[in-house]
Amino acid sequence: MNIKKSTLFLLILLAVCGKTFGYNYFNQMEEDFCHKGVCYKILNNKEIEVIGHNFRLIEWVTCSDEDMLKTKKHVYDTLPSGRLVIPPALKYKGVTYRVVSIAKEAFRDCEGLVSVVIPNSVTRIGESAFYCCYAMTDVVIPNGLTSIENGVFNECSSLTSAVIPNSVTRIGNYAFANCENLRSVTISNSVKSIGSHAFYLCERLKSVTIPNSVTSLERGSFRECYELKSITIPGSVTSIGKQAFWGCRTLSRINVPKGSKERFKSMLPEKLWNMICEYRS
């Protein structure tokens, strides 16, 4: 076998077996450029997406005669912290781009991030974008956002309040779950559904008013909100999922429109029937 053939054979062998006997460094996010510790991806000639902080995934695989062991670890190059203001537009290589979206898991595990201002140019925030941002106390949600995706603010345990703007039509599954210090939430009249476990374990939440636009509260939506004392549900709601108020041990009043008590009894477990109070709509 000549040198060229030997080299080619070795390269093929490494490509096939490299993961088995060694490690693999690669960029998990292929950013186009970074600005002040935040990375962006160019979507087209006018728009960019925030992809958060750059990081590498190190994968180490060890083989033995008995089994195969595999571990993965994220190594972060930059982690935004403190107060983060995302600009509505950025100039790169002479071209000005609008910031229109935040990618899935973009700021996941940014434990030092205290507050975030998101511009109104952003119309989409991906799933779990701020998952486990434990220190984040406040966030400005943009008016152009149409949906709060699944788990966006899950485990933001220092978040104290949230205002859902008029553009949002859905609050996703686990969107604010485990926000144990969330004390107030304002839900706009544009929201139509509140997802499964959306406010699960929001322990400090005391009172909630559901707007007339909402038609469904999905399974476990307010489960284990221990300090929730009252909730106002409009007549527009036609379905309430199982365990929506399970574990709400201080809940004493469920306000529903006059003449709808019997209808809501059909949607709620019997042990909650004595809490249903009618109000004049």
- pLDDT tier at 52, thresholds 50, 70, 90: confident
CA distances from 194 to 3, 38, 45, 110, 154 (A): 65, 31, 35, 26, 15
Instruction: Tell me the pLDDT tens digit for each residue of 111-167.
Output: 999 999 999 999 999 999 999 999 999 999 999 999 999 999 999 999 999 999 999
DSSP string, 185-204: EE--TT--EE-TTTTTT-TT
- How much of the chain is helix, strand and coil, in % rounded to 5? 10, 35, 55
Cα 270 to the chain's mean position, in Å? 33
Strand (E) or helix (H) holding 55: strand 55-63
CA distances from 46 to 67, 246, 279 (A): 50, 47, 50
At 52 the three-state DSSP class reads strand
Q: What is the mean pLDDT of residues 249-253?
A: 97
Distance CA 36, CA 185 (A): 31
Strand (E) or helix (H) holding 270: none
Instruction: Tell me the pLDDT tens digit for each residue of 67-116.
Output: 444 444 444 455 777 899 999 999 999 999 999 999 999 999 999 999 99
Question: Would you say the pTM of this structure is higher than 0.85?
Answer: no
**CA-based angle 168:155:87, to the nearest 5?**
55
